Structure 1
Amino acid sequence: MKKNRKKSMIFVLILTLLLVVLNLKNIVKTFYPLNYKEYIETYSNEYNLNPLFVAAVIKAESNFQVDAVSKRDARGLMQITPSTAKWAASKLRIDNFDINSLYDPELNIKIGCWYLNDLCKEFGTDTTVILAAYNGGRGNVNKWLSNKEYSKDGKKLDYIPFKETDQYVKKIEVNYNIYKFLYGQDGDYIKFLKLVFSKFLL
């Protein structure tokens, strides 16, 4: 009787673990959502970006909170500062632009994607350099690239001297890989589990 009961408990436990593993993607998707998918895809395509890369940036910047405001007064989903927003709005010829418009998901994503694309035009396709510029400023990145201590070839960053920017880049790179697994074609569960665990070790 006790043996049968123990076997039943083990069976239930194994079945529960299997269900958890099989539903792992759905569980993790609650922590890594793809909100505003239509806007992300529209403006990622317009500005030659991978939509999942943009989603990874939004996740790190605001955790998909439209009303997010940083200590530096960066606002909205992609945490755009007022000065960058005004400059981008003039380039995009957005009439009657108001800083509070950054709380509008569509406009925020449009400006954010345009800005990432603008950084791509200056720095190329290296995501580490682009993300470092998005967070630490393009002026600082240009200084780092011209310094042999931080860049051996003047194109890639071997070392990022700002700790906050370095952690930011690593965080988004992990986010990006998780998003590719959850919403893309990458079905490698072992790789995915390593990514999830590395996220908590950053």
Structure 2
Amino acid sequence: MKTTTLTAWAMIILGTYYFIYGEPYIAKHYAYPFEHRATIEAVANTNKIPASLVAGVILAESKYKESAESDRGALGLMQLMPETAHWIAEQMNQPKMTDTDIKAPATNIQLGTWYLGYLMEEFNHNEVLALAAYNAGRGHVESWMEEYQWDKNFNDIDAIPFPETRLYVRNVLKYQERYEELYGQDY
């Protein structure tokens, strides 16, 4: 009986230790990495958007794989189409870039975060609309707003016509919340 009681207490102590210290460690290192944190925080701050949102986009887009390239040709951590990256660079008064430049983590984060900030401004800081535009394109979101009479307060993710975009928006917002839980909201 004594051994059973000791074993039970040991399991309770180990379980408590895991949930307090182990689970966040595992989550941070495997499920929700935060590579390039200093760059993400600095660029997010410059563009007046939460770093947790940028981290969530990167996790959804590339799982932090720097060499990520989609079948459609999107490049880098934030999966930027070269045409979009060139347009962003032009808006930022930066020189024309090669695909290698676009894939470079610091550059990709800078361009992608600027674009996300641009979309947040365009859609009145509505994360659902901005993320839908990041995934499906501004033109689609603008046409949905017109067709379905969505306003800048739209938040019904289930009403987004593209299943992939619905899932994308849900995932990024879930990831953003988890990043805030693990790393704090003020980063």
Give the aligned length.
182
Output aligned runs, 1:4-19, within 5 Å.
4-19=2-17
Q: Is the 8 A contact 1:144 1:157 kept in 2?
A: no
Please state how far the C-alpha of 1:41 moved relative to its aligned partner.
1.2
Output aligned runs, 1:1-202, within 5 Å.
3-23=1-21, 24-30=23-29, 31-148=31-148, 151-153=149-151, 155-156=153-154, 158=156, 159-185=159-185
**One-letter amino acid of the structure 2 residue matched with residue 10 of structure 1:** A
**One-letter amino acid of the structure 2 residue matched with residue 170 of structure 1:** R
**One-letter amino acid of the structure 2 residue matched with residue 7 of structure 1:** T
Between 1 and 2, higher relative CO (CA 8 Å, sep ≥ 6) is seen in 2
Instruction: Sort the Cα spacing of 1:155 and 1:21 in 2 relative to 1 into closer, same or farther, 3 A.
Output: closer
**One-letter amino acid of the structure 1 residue matched with residue 25 of structure 2:** N
Q: Is the 8 A contact 2:80 2:108 kept in 1?
A: yes
Q: What whole-Å deviation, never above 9, does each CA across 1:66-93 have from its counterpart, x for those lacking one?
A: 1011111111110001110111112222
Greater shift after overlay, 127-136 or 46-55?
Answer: 46-55
Please state how far the C-alpha of 1:60 moved relative to its aligned partner.
0.8
**One-letter amino acid of the structure 2 residue matched with residue 80 of structure 1:** L
Instruction: Sort the Cα spacing of 1:9 and 1:155 in 2 relative to 1 into closer, same or farther, 3 A.
Output: closer
Please state how far the C-alpha of 1:44 moved relative to its aligned partner.
0.7
**One-letter amino acid of the structure 2 residue matched with residue 6 of structure 1:** T
Q: What whole-Å deviation, never above 9, does each CA across 1:13-32 have from its counterpart, x for those lacking one?
A: 11111111111222211211
TM-score under structure 1 length normalisation: 0.85
Q: Is the 8 A contact 1:74 1:81 kept in 2?
A: yes
Aligned residue in 2 for 1:196: none
Q: What whole-Å deviation, never above 9, does each CA across 1:11-61 have from its counterpart, x for those lacking one?
A: 221111111111122221121111101110111111111111111111111
What RMSD in Å do the two structures reach over aligned CA positions? 1.6
Which residues of structure 2 form unaligned runs of 5+? none
**Per the alignment, in what secondary structure is the counterpart of residue 77 of structure 1?**
coil
Greater shift after overlay, 130-139 or 3-12?
Answer: 3-12
TM-score under structure 2 length normalisation: 0.91
Stretches of 4+ aligned residues off by more than 2 angstroms: 151-155
Which residues of structure 1 form unaligned runs of 5+? 187-202
